[in-house]
Structure 1
Amino acid sequence: MATTLFLPFSAYAADEPAPGSSKGGKPGPAAIADVKITTELPERITVDNKTEGTELTAKVVNNGTKETGPITLTVVGFDGMRITAVKGCGQIPKGQLPPGSNSGFACVIDNVAAGKNRSYAVTATYDLQKAGKICLPVTEGTGKKLLWQQGPVAFGTSKPTPNAPDTPLLLGTDNTPAAQGDKPAEPSKPGKDAKPGKPDLPSTGIGDRTLALGLAGALLIAAGGAGFRWTSRRAR
């Protein structure tokens, strides 16, 4: 039986001063007043035109006055953007991804102190002939209580550069594939393949939905023994 190794508390990148953006994000229904969680993505990334590879940093920030306690940051790709790895995080099994998404990783975090952040190195591929989006939900513990969600938000460009070494993409911009000339790319629709009755990820730009119940189960799998350790720590 194939198994996937998850490292709930493995190394993460040190706090970085690099500027980021919470564009396309908003608090979830379970947001806590004293714990002001947000996420940040870079305003600009570049995609290698030959390999379709790209790298970015996903950050979860606590702007509140109290620590977060256990939370989970999830990085999910849609349409032309596929997440291939998030350093220190566990891959969500294909069968438990949110409907409409193509990839996802869960970063189980023991705590983020007030005024602090955690940064994660993300690698991805981007099919420049399609529109592509990324989503960063933050949930309480390894459950389904949504504290914050950014996206699904687009990375893209209206000026393709197929003959250049790479193509710069801007956050919050729908992608226009080179083959389509001046014709705008059809906006991606997260969850468009979802079956009736199956909840989808909420969207901060296309209309709110409730957090997928299947994702909560995936986070529990990604957490591994983290939940037990949290429980033991609290008991002590």
Structure 2
Amino acid sequence: MSSRRMAAITGSLLTASFSAVMILPCTAVADDQGPASSKGGKAVDEAPAGVELSTTLPSRITVDNSSQKTAITATVKNDGSKDSGGIRLLVVGFDGLKVINVQGCSAIAEKDLPEGSNSGFSCPVGSLAAGRSKSYAVDATYDLSKAGKICLPVQTTDGKKTFWQQGPVPFGTTNPSPNAPATPLLLGTDNKPVGPAGDQLPKTGADRDVTPLGAAGAALIAAGCAGLWWARRRQEG
């Protein structure tokens, strides 16, 4: 075989190897969030006849151990037979889980955040047709030395009624991986932080009982909380 032909074959092999290296890592780090789950959710105020609203979160997320970044898909859906009318979705973070951005949504001012939360976004869903859903890409960080929780209330656009609320529900792991590139967290699992007292969950508030979040008037105003969680102010009459 001539040296010229050998060089050509060697070059082709190197090119193929380089292509494989460029492609494979992308596949390896893809975050499989598993099936969507409505765990930790319940109906609150009665929805209009024919409207059945709920939300879902991924059953699993992955936190980058160096940057603490993670991605979450929050979905609101209408499984009823009629359009929902105007609604909004809130995405609110607690403790170690901080919501950095939600695509297409507006940040809730710090003074208007519910007590105990560290971040939140309001998403104007509009009227959701029967049988339809709408998903939002949530960018967040997760401090693995703490517990971390997220809450998804679905409200009327003026915040006077909360038709559904998922959470505050935790993401966490009982098997932290401090030396791994990333740590997988499961929905509905309390986080067990890494450290000397890793067998003891930090005391960050009361229990996880869910009470609904609402707002007085059209503006998004923080409602109080019972301990860490939510208490809803409702306009009478």
Q: Is the 8 A contact 1:97 1:214 kept in 2?
A: no
Q: Distance in 1 between matches of 2:183 and 2:39?
A: 21
Change beyond 3 A, Cα 1:208–1:113? same
Q: TM-score, normalised by structure 1?
A: 0.74
Larger radius of gyration: 2
Q: CA RMSD in A?
A: 2.2
| 1:123-179 residue CA offsets vs partner (Å, 9 max, x unmatched) | 000000000000000001232201000000000000000000000000000000111
Unpaired segments ≥5 residues, structure 2 = 1-33, 222-237
The one-letter code sitting in structure 2 at the alignment partner of 1:166 is A
User: Match for residue 166 of structure 1?
Assistant: 182
1:101 paired residue among 117, 126, 134: 117
Change beyond 3 A, Cα 1:165–1:31? same
Q: Is the 8 A contact 1:98 1:214 kept in 2?
A: no
Unpaired segments ≥5 residues, structure 1 = 1-17, 193-204, 220-236
- The answer as to 2:60 corresponding to 1:44 is yes
Q: Higher relative contact order at CA 8 Å, sep ≥6: structure 1 or structure 2?
A: 1
Q: Distance in 2 between matches of 1:140 and 1:214?
A: 12
Q: Distance in 1 between matches of 2:138 and 2:218?
A: 21
1:84 paired residue among 71, 88, 100: 100
Number of equivalences: 189
**Shift, 1:90, TM fit:** 0.4
User: Match for residue 22 of structure 2?
Assistant: none
Q: TM-score, normalised by structure 2?
A: 0.74
The one-letter code sitting in structure 2 at the alignment partner of 1:206 is R
Change beyond 3 A, Cα 1:210–1:55? closer
Task: Please give the secondary structure, in 2, of the residue aligned with 1:217.
Answer: coil
Q: Is the 8 A contact 1:157 1:174 kept in 2?
A: yes
**Shift, 1:215, TM fit:** 9.4
The one-letter code sitting in structure 2 at the alignment partner of 1:211 is L
